[in-house]
Structure 1
Amino acid sequence: MGLLELCRQAFGARDLYQVLGVRREASGDEVRRGYHKVSLRVHPDRAAPAEKDEATRLFQILGKVYAVLSDQEQRALYDQQGIVDEESTVLTQDRNWEEYWRLLFKKITVKDIEDFEAKYKDSAEELADIKAAYMDFTGDMDKIMESVLCVDVRDEPRIKKIIQDAINSGELPSYKAFIKETKQKMNARKRKAEQEAKEAEKSREELGLGTGDDDLKALIQSRNENRKKEMDDFLSQMEAKYGNKSKKGGKKGMK
Protein backbone atom coordinates (compact mmCIF):
# COMPACT_ATOMS: atom_id res chain seq x y z
CA MET A 1 0.00 0.00 0.00
CA GLY A 2 1.33 3.42 -0.97
CA LEU A 3 2.15 6.21 1.46
CA LEU A 4 -0.77 8.41 0.40
CA GLU A 5 -3.26 5.61 0.99
CA LEU A 6 -1.67 4.80 4.35
CA CYS A 7 -2.09 8.45 5.34
CA ARG A 8 -5.73 8.38 4.31
CA GLN A 9 -6.42 5.28 6.38
CA ALA A 10 -4.39 6.30 9.42
CA PHE A 11 -5.02 10.06 9.57
CA GLY A 12 -8.01 10.66 7.32
CA ALA A 13 -5.91 12.80 4.98
CA ARG A 14 -4.06 12.00 1.77
CA ASP A 15 -2.29 15.35 1.68
CA LEU A 16 1.12 15.00 3.31
CA TYR A 17 1.15 18.57 4.55
CA GLN A 18 -2.24 18.11 6.18
CA VAL A 19 -0.95 15.04 8.02
CA LEU A 20 1.77 17.19 9.62
CA GLY A 21 -0.57 20.16 10.12
CA VAL A 22 1.50 22.60 8.07
CA ARG A 23 0.96 24.79 4.98
CA ARG A 24 2.14 23.67 1.57
CA GLU A 25 4.38 26.75 1.59
CA ALA A 26 5.91 25.77 4.94
CA SER A 27 9.65 26.16 5.33
CA GLY A 28 11.85 23.19 6.09
CA ASP A 29 11.94 24.17 9.77
CA GLU A 30 8.14 24.46 9.88
CA VAL A 31 7.77 21.00 8.35
CA ARG A 32 10.24 19.67 10.91
CA ARG A 33 8.31 21.22 13.80
CA GLY A 34 5.04 19.92 12.40
CA TYR A 35 6.46 16.42 12.17
CA HIS A 36 7.77 16.55 15.69
CA LYS A 37 4.54 17.92 17.14
CA VAL A 38 2.37 15.21 15.58
CA SER A 39 4.81 12.34 16.10
CA LEU A 40 5.30 13.26 19.75
CA ARG A 41 1.64 12.52 20.39
CA VAL A 42 1.76 9.04 18.86
CA HIS A 43 5.25 8.04 19.99
CA PRO A 44 5.23 4.36 21.03
CA ASP A 45 6.87 5.23 24.35
CA ARG A 46 3.74 7.20 25.30
CA ALA A 47 1.25 4.55 24.27
CA ALA A 48 -0.50 2.07 26.56
CA PRO A 49 0.73 -1.52 26.12
CA ALA A 50 -2.41 -2.51 24.20
CA GLU A 51 -1.96 0.42 21.81
CA LYS A 52 1.79 0.14 21.23
CA ASP A 53 1.58 -1.72 17.91
CA GLU A 54 -0.82 0.82 16.43
CA ALA A 55 1.28 3.70 17.78
CA THR A 56 4.37 2.18 16.16
CA ARG A 57 2.55 1.92 12.82
CA LEU A 58 1.41 5.56 12.97
CA PHE A 59 4.90 6.64 14.03
CA GLN A 60 6.43 4.87 11.03
CA ILE A 61 3.95 6.47 8.62
CA LEU A 62 4.75 9.93 10.00
CA GLY A 63 8.46 9.24 9.63
CA LYS A 64 7.94 8.43 5.96
CA VAL A 65 5.84 11.57 5.43
CA TYR A 66 8.60 13.69 6.92
CA ALA A 67 11.29 11.85 4.96
CA VAL A 68 9.50 12.76 1.72
CA LEU A 69 8.84 16.40 2.62
CA SER A 70 12.35 16.95 3.96
CA ASP A 71 13.95 15.66 0.76
CA GLN A 72 14.21 18.44 -1.82
CA GLU A 73 13.66 16.25 -4.89
CA GLN A 74 10.84 14.19 -3.38
CA ARG A 75 9.04 17.26 -2.10
CA ALA A 76 9.30 18.94 -5.49
CA LEU A 77 7.85 15.84 -7.18
CA TYR A 78 4.98 15.73 -4.70
CA ASP A 79 4.28 19.46 -5.02
CA GLN A 80 4.31 19.38 -8.82
CA GLN A 81 2.53 16.10 -9.53
CA GLY A 82 0.83 15.13 -6.27
CA ILE A 83 2.53 11.74 -6.23
CA VAL A 84 5.11 9.99 -4.07
CA ASP A 85 7.96 7.98 -5.59
CA GLU A 86 7.49 4.77 -3.64
CA GLU A 87 10.68 3.32 -5.17
CA SER A 88 12.94 6.14 -3.98
CA THR A 89 15.63 5.32 -1.44
CA VAL A 90 13.93 7.82 0.89
CA LEU A 91 11.18 5.23 1.41
CA THR A 92 12.76 1.91 0.46
CA GLN A 93 15.87 1.98 2.62
CA ASP A 94 15.74 -0.13 5.76
CA ARG A 95 15.41 2.49 8.46
CA ASN A 96 14.69 2.38 12.19
CA TRP A 97 12.22 5.25 12.40
CA GLU A 98 12.63 5.71 16.14
CA GLU A 99 16.41 6.04 15.80
CA TYR A 100 15.84 8.44 12.90
CA TRP A 101 13.52 10.49 15.13
CA ARG A 102 16.07 10.62 17.93
CA LEU A 103 18.77 11.78 15.51
CA LEU A 104 16.53 14.72 14.64
CA PHE A 105 15.32 15.65 18.10
CA LYS A 106 17.28 16.03 21.29
CA LYS A 107 15.57 14.69 24.40
CA ILE A 108 14.59 17.64 26.58
CA THR A 109 15.31 17.33 30.30
CA VAL A 110 14.13 19.41 33.25
CA LYS A 111 17.57 21.05 33.41
CA ASP A 112 17.36 21.92 29.71
CA ILE A 113 14.06 23.69 30.31
CA GLU A 114 15.43 25.58 33.31
CA ASP A 115 18.59 26.60 31.45
CA PHE A 116 16.62 27.66 28.41
CA GLU A 117 14.19 29.71 30.49
CA ALA A 118 17.04 31.57 32.15
CA LYS A 119 18.53 32.51 28.76
CA TYR A 120 15.23 33.09 26.97
CA LYS A 121 13.54 35.52 29.31
CA ASP A 122 14.33 39.17 28.51
CA SER A 123 16.24 38.08 25.42
CA ALA A 124 15.90 39.49 21.90
CA GLU A 125 14.31 36.19 20.89
CA GLU A 126 11.62 36.44 23.56
CA LEU A 127 10.97 40.05 22.59
CA ALA A 128 10.44 39.02 18.96
CA ASP A 129 8.17 36.13 20.00
CA ILE A 130 6.01 38.41 22.16
CA LYS A 131 5.57 40.92 19.35
CA ALA A 132 4.79 38.16 16.86
CA ALA A 133 2.19 36.66 19.23
CA TYR A 134 0.60 40.07 19.69
CA MET A 135 0.24 40.42 15.92
CA ASP A 136 -0.89 36.83 15.36
CA PHE A 137 -3.64 37.05 17.99
CA THR A 138 -4.54 40.72 17.41
CA GLY A 139 -3.86 41.65 21.01
CA ASP A 140 -5.69 38.82 22.78
CA MET A 141 -3.72 38.39 26.02
CA ASP A 142 -5.22 34.97 26.75
CA LYS A 143 -3.72 33.59 23.55
CA ILE A 144 -0.50 35.59 23.87
CA MET A 145 0.16 34.16 27.34
CA GLU A 146 -0.56 30.63 26.06
CA SER A 147 1.68 31.08 23.03
CA VAL A 148 4.89 32.61 24.42
CA LEU A 149 7.31 30.07 25.89
CA CYS A 150 8.16 29.92 29.60
CA VAL A 151 5.70 32.54 30.84
CA ASP A 152 3.20 32.36 33.67
CA VAL A 153 0.90 34.78 35.45
CA ARG A 154 3.85 36.45 37.20
CA ASP A 155 5.24 37.48 33.81
CA GLU A 156 2.07 39.17 32.63
CA PRO A 157 2.92 42.73 33.78
CA ARG A 158 6.31 42.42 32.06
CA ILE A 159 4.74 41.08 28.85
CA LYS A 160 2.16 43.86 28.82
CA LYS A 161 4.81 46.53 29.30
CA ILE A 162 6.84 45.19 26.39
CA ILE A 163 3.77 45.32 24.16
CA GLN A 164 2.66 48.74 25.38
CA ASP A 165 6.12 50.21 24.84
CA ALA A 166 6.11 48.84 21.28
CA ILE A 167 2.66 50.36 20.69
CA ASN A 168 3.77 53.72 22.07
CA SER A 169 6.80 53.72 19.79
CA GLY A 170 4.66 52.92 16.75
CA GLU A 171 6.28 49.52 16.23
CA LEU A 172 3.03 47.67 16.91
CA PRO A 173 -0.54 48.68 16.05
CA SER A 174 -3.03 49.42 18.81
CA TYR A 175 -5.49 46.53 18.99
CA LYS A 176 -8.71 47.02 20.91
CA ALA A 177 -8.50 43.53 22.44
CA PHE A 178 -5.32 44.61 24.21
CA ILE A 179 -6.00 48.27 24.98
CA LYS A 180 -9.60 47.73 26.12
CA GLU A 181 -9.25 44.37 27.85
CA THR A 182 -11.76 44.12 30.69
CA LYS A 183 -10.86 43.47 34.31
CA GLN A 184 -13.19 40.48 34.17
CA LYS A 185 -11.10 38.87 31.46
CA MET A 186 -7.84 39.64 33.26
CA ASN A 187 -9.16 38.22 36.55
CA ALA A 188 -10.48 35.10 34.82
CA ARG A 189 -7.03 34.49 33.31
CA LYS A 190 -5.39 34.95 36.70
CA ARG A 191 -7.85 32.59 38.41
CA LYS A 192 -7.29 29.95 35.74
CA ALA A 193 -3.50 30.17 36.15
CA GLU A 194 -3.73 29.96 39.93
CA GLN A 195 -6.05 26.95 39.73
CA GLU A 196 -3.73 25.16 37.34
CA ALA A 197 -0.76 25.85 39.63
CA LYS A 198 -2.68 24.35 42.56
CA GLU A 199 -3.62 21.29 40.51
CA ALA A 200 -0.01 20.79 39.45
CA GLU A 201 1.25 21.04 43.03
CA LYS A 202 -1.48 18.69 44.25
CA SER A 203 -0.58 16.14 41.58
CA ARG A 204 3.10 16.42 42.48
CA GLU A 205 2.36 15.86 46.19
CA GLU A 206 -0.05 12.97 45.55
CA LEU A 207 2.49 11.23 43.35
CA GLY A 208 5.43 12.06 45.61
CA LEU A 209 7.31 13.65 42.75
CA GLY A 210 10.54 15.59 42.77
CA THR A 211 12.14 17.46 39.88
CA GLY A 212 13.74 14.65 37.88
CA ASP A 213 12.99 13.84 34.24
CA ASP A 214 10.89 10.78 35.13
CA ASP A 215 9.01 12.91 37.64
CA LEU A 216 8.26 15.48 34.95
CA LYS A 217 6.92 12.73 32.70
CA ALA A 218 4.75 11.32 35.49
CA LEU A 219 3.37 14.76 36.29
CA ILE A 220 2.47 15.37 32.66
CA GLN A 221 0.71 12.01 32.49
CA SER A 222 -1.26 12.79 35.65
CA ARG A 223 -2.84 15.93 34.20
CA ASN A 224 -6.10 16.00 32.29
CA GLU A 225 -5.95 15.65 28.50
CA ASN A 226 -6.15 19.38 27.70
CA ARG A 227 -3.27 20.29 29.99
CA LYS A 228 -1.27 17.26 28.85
CA LYS A 229 -1.71 18.41 25.25
CA GLU A 230 -0.47 21.90 26.15
CA MET A 231 2.61 20.46 27.85
CA ASP A 232 3.22 18.15 24.89
CA ASP A 233 3.02 21.16 22.60
CA PHE A 234 5.51 23.05 24.79
CA LEU A 235 7.97 20.15 24.81
CA SER A 236 7.43 19.74 21.08
CA GLN A 237 8.35 23.38 20.46
CA MET A 238 11.41 23.07 22.68
CA GLU A 239 12.66 19.86 21.09
CA ALA A 240 11.91 20.88 17.52
CA LYS A 241 13.42 24.34 17.92
CA TYR A 242 16.50 23.45 19.96
CA GLY A 243 17.02 19.76 19.27
CA ASN A 244 19.89 18.29 17.30
CA LYS A 245 20.10 19.39 13.67
CA SER A 246 20.79 16.79 11.01
CA LYS A 247 22.64 19.25 8.79
CA LYS A 248 26.37 19.79 9.24
CA GLY A 249 27.09 23.04 10.99
CA GLY A 250 23.61 23.27 12.54
CA LYS A 251 22.89 23.85 16.21
CA LYS A 252 23.65 20.91 18.44
CA GLY A 253 20.96 21.74 20.94
CA MET A 254 20.72 23.94 24.00
CA LYS A 255 23.88 24.41 25.98
Structure 2
Amino acid sequence: MPSLLESCRDEFGTDDLYKVLGVNKKAKEGEVKKGYHKVSLKVHPDRVSPEEKETATQKFQTLGKVYFILADKERRAVYDETGEVDDEDDAIPQDRDWTAYWRLLFRKVTMEDIKDFEKKYKGSKEELEDLKTAYLEFKGNMEDILSNVMCSTEDDEPRFSGIIRDWIKKKEVPDFPKFSKETKKSKDNRKRKAAQEAAEAEELKEELGLHSNGSLQALIHARQQSREQQMTGFMDDLEKKYAQPKKTKSAGTAKGKKKGKK
Protein backbone atom coordinates (compact mmCIF):
# COMPACT_ATOMS: atom_id res chain seq x y z
CA MET A 1 0.00 0.00 0.00
CA PRO A 2 1.47 3.39 -0.96
CA SER A 3 2.21 5.89 1.77
CA LEU A 4 0.02 8.95 2.16
CA LEU A 5 2.63 11.22 0.61
CA GLU A 6 2.98 8.85 -2.34
CA SER A 7 -0.78 8.86 -2.78
CA CYS A 8 -0.78 12.66 -2.73
CA ARG A 9 1.87 12.75 -5.44
CA ASP A 10 -0.01 10.25 -7.60
CA GLU A 11 -3.47 11.75 -7.16
CA PHE A 12 -2.86 15.47 -6.62
CA GLY A 13 0.57 15.99 -8.22
CA THR A 14 2.22 17.11 -4.98
CA ASP A 15 3.36 15.61 -1.70
CA ASP A 16 2.86 18.93 0.11
CA LEU A 17 -0.24 18.43 2.26
CA TYR A 18 -0.97 22.14 2.28
CA LYS A 19 -0.92 22.32 -1.51
CA VAL A 20 -3.32 19.38 -1.67
CA LEU A 21 -5.83 21.52 0.25
CA GLY A 22 -4.90 24.67 -1.67
CA VAL A 23 -3.76 26.58 1.42
CA ASN A 24 -0.44 27.88 2.69
CA LYS A 25 1.55 26.61 5.66
CA LYS A 26 0.41 29.50 7.86
CA ALA A 27 -3.28 28.80 7.21
CA LYS A 28 -5.47 28.96 10.28
CA GLU A 29 -7.75 26.12 11.35
CA GLY A 30 -10.76 27.62 9.59
CA GLU A 31 -8.81 28.13 6.37
CA VAL A 32 -7.60 24.52 6.44
CA LYS A 33 -11.16 23.31 6.86
CA LYS A 34 -12.42 25.58 4.09
CA GLY A 35 -9.67 24.31 1.79
CA TYR A 36 -10.62 20.71 2.54
CA HIS A 37 -14.27 21.45 1.89
CA LYS A 38 -13.57 23.17 -1.41
CA VAL A 39 -11.37 20.38 -2.78
CA SER A 40 -13.65 17.64 -1.44
CA LEU A 41 -16.58 19.05 -3.36
CA LYS A 42 -14.60 18.64 -6.58
CA VAL A 43 -13.59 15.03 -5.94
CA HIS A 44 -16.57 13.76 -3.94
CA PRO A 45 -17.63 10.41 -5.47
CA ASP A 46 -21.24 11.55 -5.66
CA ARG A 47 -20.31 14.53 -7.84
CA VAL A 48 -18.51 12.78 -10.69
CA SER A 49 -19.50 10.52 -13.56
CA PRO A 50 -19.69 6.73 -13.02
CA GLU A 51 -16.45 6.33 -15.01
CA GLU A 52 -14.60 8.63 -12.61
CA LYS A 53 -16.12 7.25 -9.40
CA GLU A 54 -13.32 4.81 -8.51
CA THR A 55 -10.60 7.41 -9.03
CA ALA A 56 -12.62 10.03 -7.17
CA THR A 57 -13.15 7.66 -4.24
CA GLN A 58 -9.40 7.12 -3.90
CA LYS A 59 -8.72 10.85 -4.05
CA PHE A 60 -11.51 11.53 -1.58
CA GLN A 61 -10.02 9.04 0.89
CA THR A 62 -6.55 10.51 0.49
CA LEU A 63 -7.95 14.00 0.95
CA GLY A 64 -9.67 12.92 4.16
CA LYS A 65 -6.41 11.62 5.59
CA VAL A 66 -4.64 14.86 4.66
CA TYR A 67 -7.25 16.89 6.48
CA PHE A 68 -7.20 14.46 9.41
CA ILE A 69 -3.49 15.28 9.91
CA LEU A 70 -3.60 19.03 9.32
CA ALA A 71 -6.70 19.44 11.51
CA ASP A 72 -4.86 17.91 14.47
CA LYS A 73 -2.51 20.42 16.09
CA GLU A 74 0.04 17.86 17.26
CA ARG A 75 0.18 15.89 14.01
CA ARG A 76 0.35 19.12 12.05
CA ALA A 77 3.25 20.30 14.21
CA VAL A 78 5.14 17.05 13.56
CA TYR A 79 4.54 17.35 9.82
CA ASP A 80 5.60 21.01 9.78
CA GLU A 81 8.83 20.17 11.60
CA THR A 82 9.82 16.99 9.77
CA GLY A 83 7.91 17.06 6.48
CA GLU A 84 6.97 13.47 7.22
CA VAL A 85 3.78 11.54 7.87
CA ASP A 86 3.51 8.56 10.19
CA ASP A 87 1.69 6.05 7.97
CA GLU A 88 1.60 3.48 10.77
CA ASP A 89 0.01 5.80 13.29
CA ASP A 90 -2.77 3.65 14.72
CA ALA A 91 -4.88 6.74 15.38
CA ILE A 92 -5.14 7.49 11.63
CA PRO A 93 -8.01 5.27 10.44
CA GLN A 94 -7.21 3.37 7.25
CA ASP A 95 -10.65 1.92 6.57
CA ARG A 96 -12.76 4.81 7.81
CA ASP A 97 -15.95 5.74 6.00
CA TRP A 98 -14.63 9.07 4.79
CA THR A 99 -18.02 10.09 3.42
CA ALA A 100 -19.50 9.72 6.91
CA TYR A 101 -16.53 11.65 8.32
CA TRP A 102 -17.15 14.41 5.77
CA ARG A 103 -20.80 14.56 6.75
CA LEU A 104 -19.84 14.91 10.41
CA LEU A 105 -17.98 18.06 9.47
CA PHE A 106 -20.43 19.53 6.96
CA ARG A 107 -24.16 19.22 7.39
CA LYS A 108 -26.38 18.60 4.37
CA VAL A 109 -27.94 21.58 2.62
CA THR A 110 -31.76 21.47 2.78
CA MET A 111 -34.46 23.13 0.68
CA GLU A 112 -35.04 25.53 3.56
CA ASP A 113 -31.37 26.53 3.36
CA ILE A 114 -31.70 27.17 -0.36
CA LYS A 115 -34.80 29.33 0.08
CA ASP A 116 -33.18 31.21 2.95
CA PHE A 117 -30.05 31.78 0.88
CA GLU A 118 -32.06 33.05 -2.08
CA LYS A 119 -34.02 35.43 0.13
CA LYS A 120 -30.83 36.95 1.54
CA TYR A 121 -28.90 36.89 -1.74
CA LYS A 122 -31.37 38.69 -3.99
CA GLY A 123 -30.81 42.43 -3.79
CA SER A 124 -27.64 42.02 -1.75
CA LYS A 125 -24.24 43.57 -2.35
CA GLU A 126 -23.00 40.10 -3.29
CA GLU A 127 -25.63 39.74 -6.01
CA LEU A 128 -24.72 43.17 -7.41
CA GLU A 129 -21.06 42.18 -7.56
CA ASP A 130 -21.95 38.92 -9.30
CA LEU A 131 -24.20 40.76 -11.75
CA LYS A 132 -21.48 43.24 -12.64
CA THR A 133 -18.93 40.45 -13.08
CA ALA A 134 -21.32 38.52 -15.34
CA TYR A 135 -22.18 41.64 -17.38
CA LEU A 136 -18.51 42.37 -18.03
CA GLU A 137 -17.53 38.75 -18.65
CA PHE A 138 -20.32 38.08 -21.14
CA LYS A 139 -20.25 41.57 -22.64
CA GLY A 140 -23.89 42.26 -21.95
CA ASN A 141 -25.36 38.97 -23.15
CA MET A 142 -28.45 38.74 -20.94
CA GLU A 143 -29.01 35.02 -21.50
CA ASP A 144 -25.52 34.24 -20.20
CA ILE A 145 -25.95 36.72 -17.37
CA LEU A 146 -29.14 35.02 -16.19
CA SER A 147 -27.44 31.63 -16.46
CA ASN A 148 -24.50 32.66 -14.30
CA VAL A 149 -25.93 34.89 -11.58
CA MET A 150 -27.08 32.59 -8.80
CA CYS A 151 -30.81 32.16 -8.20
CA SER A 152 -31.73 34.30 -11.20
CA THR A 153 -34.65 33.56 -13.52
CA GLU A 154 -36.30 35.33 -16.44
CA ASP A 155 -38.30 37.33 -13.90
CA ASP A 156 -35.08 39.02 -12.77
CA GLU A 157 -34.30 40.45 -16.22
CA PRO A 158 -36.20 43.77 -15.82
CA ARG A 159 -34.53 44.35 -12.45
CA PHE A 160 -31.09 43.47 -13.80
CA SER A 161 -31.57 45.64 -16.90
CA GLY A 162 -32.49 48.65 -14.77
CA ILE A 163 -29.42 48.20 -12.58
CA ILE A 164 -27.12 47.80 -15.60
CA ARG A 165 -28.56 50.85 -17.37
CA ASP A 166 -27.87 52.89 -14.22
CA TRP A 167 -24.26 51.63 -14.19
CA ILE A 168 -23.87 52.58 -17.85
CA LYS A 169 -25.28 56.05 -17.19
CA LYS A 170 -22.78 56.50 -14.36
CA LYS A 171 -20.01 55.10 -16.60
CA GLU A 172 -19.28 52.30 -14.14
CA VAL A 173 -19.46 49.74 -16.95
CA PRO A 174 -19.19 49.99 -20.75
CA ASP A 175 -22.30 50.01 -22.94
CA PHE A 176 -22.09 46.67 -24.73
CA PRO A 177 -24.20 46.40 -27.93
CA LYS A 178 -25.34 42.90 -26.90
CA PHE A 179 -27.14 44.58 -24.02
CA SER A 180 -28.29 47.97 -25.29
CA LYS A 181 -29.02 46.86 -28.86
CA GLU A 182 -30.46 43.42 -28.25
CA THR A 183 -33.18 42.63 -30.79
CA LYS A 184 -36.78 41.88 -29.92
CA LYS A 185 -36.36 38.49 -31.59
CA SER A 186 -33.53 37.60 -29.23
CA LYS A 187 -35.58 38.62 -26.19
CA ASP A 188 -38.59 36.66 -27.40
CA ASN A 189 -36.45 33.57 -27.97
CA ARG A 190 -35.10 33.80 -24.42
CA LYS A 191 -38.61 34.12 -22.98
CA ARG A 192 -39.78 31.17 -25.06
CA LYS A 193 -36.86 29.07 -23.85
CA ALA A 194 -37.54 30.01 -20.22
CA ALA A 195 -41.20 29.05 -20.58
CA GLN A 196 -40.21 25.70 -22.08
CA GLU A 197 -37.76 25.02 -19.25
CA ALA A 198 -40.41 25.91 -16.67
CA ALA A 199 -42.83 23.47 -18.34
CA GLU A 200 -40.17 20.75 -18.31
CA ALA A 201 -39.56 21.42 -14.62
CA GLU A 202 -43.29 21.09 -13.96
CA GLU A 203 -43.34 17.72 -15.77
CA LEU A 204 -40.29 16.57 -13.82
CA LYS A 205 -41.97 17.63 -10.59
CA GLU A 206 -44.93 15.40 -11.39
CA GLU A 207 -42.68 12.48 -12.33
CA LEU A 208 -40.75 12.75 -9.07
CA GLY A 209 -43.83 13.36 -6.96
CA LEU A 210 -42.62 16.74 -5.73
CA HIS A 211 -45.44 18.99 -4.60
CA SER A 212 -43.81 21.83 -2.67
CA ASN A 213 -43.27 25.20 -4.31
CA GLY A 214 -39.71 25.15 -3.05
CA SER A 215 -39.00 21.90 -4.87
CA LEU A 216 -40.51 23.21 -8.10
CA GLN A 217 -38.56 26.43 -7.78
CA ALA A 218 -35.33 24.48 -7.35
CA LEU A 219 -36.10 22.43 -10.44
CA ILE A 220 -36.76 25.55 -12.48
CA HIS A 221 -33.43 26.97 -11.34
CA ALA A 222 -31.75 23.72 -12.25
CA ARG A 223 -33.30 23.82 -15.73
CA GLN A 224 -32.54 27.45 -16.34
CA GLN A 225 -29.00 27.04 -15.06
CA SER A 226 -28.76 23.82 -17.02
CA ARG A 227 -25.02 23.59 -17.28
CA GLU A 228 -23.91 21.01 -14.73
CA GLN A 229 -20.83 23.01 -13.83
CA GLN A 230 -22.93 26.10 -13.05
CA MET A 231 -25.35 24.18 -10.85
CA THR A 232 -22.47 22.51 -9.03
CA GLY A 233 -20.98 25.95 -8.40
CA PHE A 234 -24.32 27.13 -7.04
CA MET A 235 -24.50 24.18 -4.64
CA ASP A 236 -20.85 24.67 -3.67
CA ASP A 237 -21.59 28.22 -2.60
CA LEU A 238 -24.54 27.01 -0.56
CA GLU A 239 -22.41 24.31 1.06
CA LYS A 240 -19.78 26.90 2.01
CA LYS A 241 -22.38 29.23 3.51
CA TYR A 242 -24.34 26.61 5.44
CA ALA A 243 -21.77 23.96 6.33
CA GLN A 244 -21.60 23.85 10.10
CA PRO A 245 -18.61 22.29 11.86
CA LYS A 246 -19.18 19.69 14.51
CA LYS A 247 -16.61 19.34 17.25
CA THR A 248 -14.62 16.11 17.12
CA LYS A 249 -12.29 14.76 19.74
CA SER A 250 -8.58 14.91 19.10
CA ALA A 251 -7.25 11.60 17.82
CA GLY A 252 -4.19 11.75 20.09
CA THR A 253 -0.53 12.26 19.45
CA ALA A 254 1.49 10.98 16.52
CA LYS A 255 3.67 7.96 17.19
CA GLY A 256 7.24 7.59 16.07
CA LYS A 257 6.90 4.66 13.68
CA LYS A 258 7.64 4.13 10.03
CA LYS A 259 7.26 7.37 8.10
CA GLY A 260 6.61 8.35 4.51
CA LYS A 261 9.05 11.00 3.37
CA LYS A 262 8.52 13.90 1.05
Q: TM-score range by the shorter chain?
A: 0.5 to 0.7
Matching residue of 2:258: none
How far apart are the structure 2 equivalents of 1:60 and 1:193? Answer: 41
1:31 Cα deviation from its structure 2 partner: 3.8
Contact 2:168 2:175 in 1 (8 A): no
* In structure 2, distance between residues paired with 1:177 and 1:23: 41
Q: 1:169 to 1:52 in 2, by over 3 A?
A: closer
DSSP-derived class of the 1:139 partner: coil
Residues 36 and 240 in structure 1, CA contact (< 8 A), matched pair in contact too: no
Correspondence list, 1:224-243, <5 A: 229-243=229-243
Gaps of 5+ in 1: 79-83, 248-255
Judge conservation of contact 2:104–2:246 (CA < 8 Å) in 1: yes
Residue 81 (structure 1) aligns with: none
Taking only the aligned residue pairs, the percentage that are identical comes to 40
Question: Across the two proteins, how many residue pairs are aligned to each other?
Answer: 226
User: Which residue does 1:182 correspond to in 2?
Assistant: 182
Is 1:43 the counterpart of 2:42 in the alignment?
Answer: no
CA distance 1:98–1:157, change in 2 (3 Å): same
CA 1:33–1:197 in 2, change beyond 3 Å: closer, same or farther? farther
RMSD, matched Cα? 4.7
Partner of 2:253: none
Counterpart for residue 166 of structure 1: 167
CA distance, structure 2, for counterparts of residue 107 and residue 58 of structure 1: 21
Matches within 5 A, 1:206-217: 206-211=207-212
State which structure, 1 or 2, has the greater radius of gyration over its C-alpha atoms.
2
Q: Give the Å deviation of 1:9.
A: 5.6
- Partner amino acid for 2:238? M
Check whether the contact 2:138–2:145 (CA below 8 A) recurs between aligned residues: yes
1:34 aligned to 38, 55, 65, which one? 38
Paired with 2:19 and 2:191, the residues of 1 have a C-alpha distance of 35
TM-score, reference length from structure 2: 0.61
Equivalent-residue separation in structure 2 for 1:36 and 1:232 (angstroms): 13
Equivalent pair of 2:3/2:87 in contact (CA under 8 Å): no
Alpha-carbon distance in 2 for matches of 1:211, 1:19: 41
Higher relative CO (Cα under 8 Å, sequence separation at least 6) belongs to 2
Q: Which runs of 5+ in 2 are unaligned?
A: 248-262
